Structure 1
């Protein structure tokens, strides 16, 4: 990426992304999420499938001119990318990524860097979720899910969501010192969450050696600027986000077929 002097319009898409993020006023963690989303659309504009899973974070997006957003084929390329991602991405995540692109394009257009917005007509309303996205998982589907060879973190999260019916955001906000393990519930003063035997078997293994800090952690150390409340004091890793939890669920359930979302798991209580 070649930086352009601040007074000149950027030539490269990546430079325009950094200019937008620098002016956004977002916290560092939010800028990182926005950057990942905008990098995803760079792959689409280059007419190449974006990497998925862990490779998505490590892969360098293709270098391309910002003017490609005004190319007659830009909307078609983005529409094809939306179709690909809709097959294995939570609709809310895809909507957020599209909103991120629209916001950046509007900012660039206001500065005269591009003439139009190729994402404007992809879908004027939030993507309709398939009916199955809100239906609880069946007993057979639950058995197939819990039989997957998934890491302890994922299995614990899935059991906790299924057994408690708690909001996903509530579960991901839990800290280890919120738990009353013998009574299978959170301690007084915290969001009331009660779980059953499946979670009770897994939670002690997940929190071993950790008395405080986020319950569910990322695989990597937290980036600079992560709030103390979202950083594990023992491992230095960050609190697992909803977006990453949804991605992991999609990745692990891909072999089971389409339509698997964390929301269906919660509804299966």
Structure 2
């Protein structure tokens, strides 16, 4: 290892993680996600099972030397962790976290802090076949979905997607001042979206007290660096992302059976 402009090479893995994140120029929200991913791999390097669920976000990673990445067993430990986590982790999430580790390892190697690359030979998990070819939800499935005690935001989004048949991206890009509530449509000059009685009943409740800003919001305040167009000026929360909307739907729609997706809400009319 060599001394760099960033100072002496870090001895501990966790310190190397913080050096990498500080140099990556990430927004706070992204930095937090990257940190969780890199800390999770630390458990594998220590040959210990990683915490899962909410505990994974709060757990303090094991203290271990960065040089452990150059140990002959490092690649095997990472490979075993990849296989083990693949049994109960979404492959897209796992592949993203593997990519995060590879990027960090490349940066550490470029600074001379480690010599080898234990991620070489680790293959991304195969992704499931896209469910875009699946047909729309049946009337019985829709009835069961809309009868769920799901939050107002989710019920409004699901009704709007079903009644409008609009692209999910277009719906999530809507702002509250794009809506023409009396005529059940968006105002001229915006993506044309029309809805029916179910959505018309829910929308006023969802936007109560908000005259502008994103229509669908996250549960938390927007991280630093979020563009003003994607931040609610009243609550400080961010625009709901496609990824998060899909995750929430999958969680709630599990009562209908596996494999249900947001795109199946569209009637195609």
TM value normalised by structure 1: 0.78
Mapped to 2, the partners of 1:179 and 1:43 lie a distance apart of 49
Do the aligned partners of 1:40 and 1:61 also contact (CA within 8 Å) in 2? no
Do the aligned partners of 1:137 and 1:267 also contact (CA within 8 Å) in 2? yes
Partner of 1:262: 262
Deviations 1:42-100 (A, max 9, x none): 56664224215xx765x2452343455552221111222133112xxxx5555444433
Unpaired runs of 5+ in structure 2? none
Partner of 1:157: 157
One of 78, 81, 86 as aligned partner of 1:77: 81
Which 10-residue stretch deviates more, 98-107 or 207-216?
98-107
Mapped to 1, the partners of 2:17 and 2:254 lie a distance apart of 31
Deviations 1:176-207 (A, max 9, x none): 00111122221122222222322222111100
Partner of 2:52: 50
Shift of 1:226: 2.7
Mapped to 2, the partners of 1:112 and 1:50 lie a distance apart of 32
Rate the CA distance shift 1:12–1:174 in 2: closer, same or farther, 3 A: farther
TM value normalised by structure 2: 0.78
Aligned residues: 256
Which 10-residue stretch deviates more, 9-18 or 193-202?
9-18
Residue 140 of structure 2 corresponds to residue 138 of structure 1: no
Q: Which is higher, the Rg of structure 1 or of structure 2?
A: 2
Mapped to 1, the partners of 2:169 and 2:21 lie a distance apart of 25
Unpaired runs of 5+ in structure 1? none
Do the aligned partners of 1:85 and 1:94 also contact (CA within 8 Å) in 2? yes
Shift of 1:130: 3.0
Rate the CA distance shift 1:108–1:255 in 2: closer, same or farther, 3 A: farther
Do the aligned partners of 2:185 and 2:194 also contact (CA within 8 Å) in 1? yes
Mapped to 1, the partners of 2:250 and 2:41 lie a distance apart of 20
